[in-house]
Amino acid sequence: MFSRKLTRSIVVGVAAVAIGGSSYGVVSATTGSGSSTAGSGSSTAGSSSSTAGGGSSTAGGGSSTAGGGAGSGSGSNARNGPEPGGSAGTVSSTSASGFTVTTAGGQKVTIKETSSTTYENGSSPASLSMVTTGQPVLVLGTADSATIMATEVVAHPRATTSSTASQVIQFSCGTAGSTKTVGQIPADYVQGQGTIATGTVADKATEAWLTAYPGGVVDRVVELSNGDYEVHNIGVNWPHHVFVNGDSQVTGAND
C-alpha cells in the first residue's frame, strides 16, 4: 500500500459527508406468491452488459466486465451520458489512478479516483490508504457503463439483508430474468418519464438500492412526479428498476 501512495501525485483529503450515518431500509414487499420484509443494509453488487433506456432494460452480453450502453428512452430521464450512480463489491486490484471492484456476480467495475474523491471507513472519515485488495467497498460517483468516476468510497459498508438480496437474479449469460413485480410501484409511474436526480438525493437512492438488492451498477436515478425515485440498474438480470421513497426506503422493484 505504501508503494501505491508514492505513485499518487495528490494526497486525497478525508471524507466530508458521513453516509454511514444515514438510515436506509426496505418496507414490506408483497408479490403474488407472498411477502418479504428487510431492514437496512449494504451490499456487494454484480453487473453485466445492458441496454438502458426508457423502454425495458435488458441484461445481456457474455463479458465478465459489467457494462451497459447509453439509454435511449423517450422521456426526460433518457440517459444522455454519464450520470450519478454507483456500485459495490470487493477491491480486487489497485493502481495509481484507482482500483477495480469485483461484484457479487463476479463482474469487474473500474473505479477512477480524483483529487476530490472522499473516503470513509464505516461512518468515520478516512484516506485513500484504506483501499486495499480484499476490502469490501461501496462506491458513489458518476457511472459510465462499467466505469465509475468516484466521488465517495465507503469501506465496510452496511451489511446486506438476505431476504431481499436472495431475490436478485445475478447476470449470467443464458440465464433468464424475470417479469415479476415486488412491493408497491407508484400508481402514476410511466417508464421513461421523470427527471434525472443528482447530488445527495441521487447518492442516498443509489445506496438504498445497493443495500437492498446487491448486484450491478446503478447508472442513473430518476425523480418521479410523486417525489419518489426510480433507480436504474444495468448489471443484473433482475431487478432493473427499484423504487425508493423520500425516506430512503425501498418500496418496490420490477424488471
How confident is residue 232, by pLDDT bands cut at 50, 70 and 90? very high
| Residue 152 pLDDT > 90 | yes
Which grid cell sits at 8?
A: 499518487
The closest of 252, 203, 192, 183 to 225, measured between CA atoms, is: 192
Dihedral of the CA atoms 152, 149, 172, 29 (nearest 10)?
A: 40
Q: Which helix or strand (DSSP H or E) is residue 86 part of?
A: strand 83-94
| Residue 96 pLDDT > 70 | yes
Pairing mode, strands 241-244 and 249-254: antiparallel
Average confidence (pLDDT) over 41-65: 38
The pLDDT score that the predictor gives to residue 176 is 75
Mean pLDDT, the chain, whole residue set: 76
The DSSP string of 119-142 is: EEETTEEE-GGG--TT-EEEEEEE
Per-residue CA distances from 115 to 19, 74, 137, 139, 191 (Å): 19, 36, 19, 15, 37
The pLDDT score that the predictor gives to residue 114 is 96
User: Which residues, 6 or more positions from 92, have their beta carbon under 8 angstroms from its beta carbon?
Assistant: 99, 100, 101, 102, 108, 133
How confident is residue 4, by pLDDT bands cut at 50, 70 and 90? low
Average confidence (pLDDT) over 90-100: 97
| Residue 233 pLDDT > 50 | yes
The more confidently predicted of residues 215 and 156 is 156
What percent of the chain is predicted at pLDDT more than 90? 49
The pLDDT score that the predictor gives to residue 77 is 56
| Residue 51 pLDDT > 70 | no
The pLDDT score that the predictor gives to residue 103 is 86
Which grid cell sits at 83?
A: 450520470
The DSSP string of 195-246 is: EE--HHHHHHHHHHHHHHS--S-EEEEEE-TTS-EEEEESSEEE-SEEEE-T
**Quick check: bond before 84 cis, omega within 30?**
no
Most confident of 54-63, 142-151, 205-214: 142-151
Q: Mind listing the pLDDT tens digit for each residue in 198-210?
A: 999 999 999 999 9
Task: Tell me the Ramachandran region of residue 183: left when phi exceeds 0, alpha when psi lies from -120 to 50, beta otherwise.
Answer: left
Give me the amino acid identity at 108.
K
The closest of 136, 75, 79, 62 to 104, measured between CA atoms, is: 136
Give me the amino acid identity at 114.
T
Which grid cell sits at 49?
A: 452488459
Sign for the CA dihedral angle at 49, 211, 230, 21 comes to: negative
What percent of the chain is predicted at pLDDT more than 70? 68
Please state the φ and ψ torsions of residue 249, each to the nearest 5 degrees. -105, 135
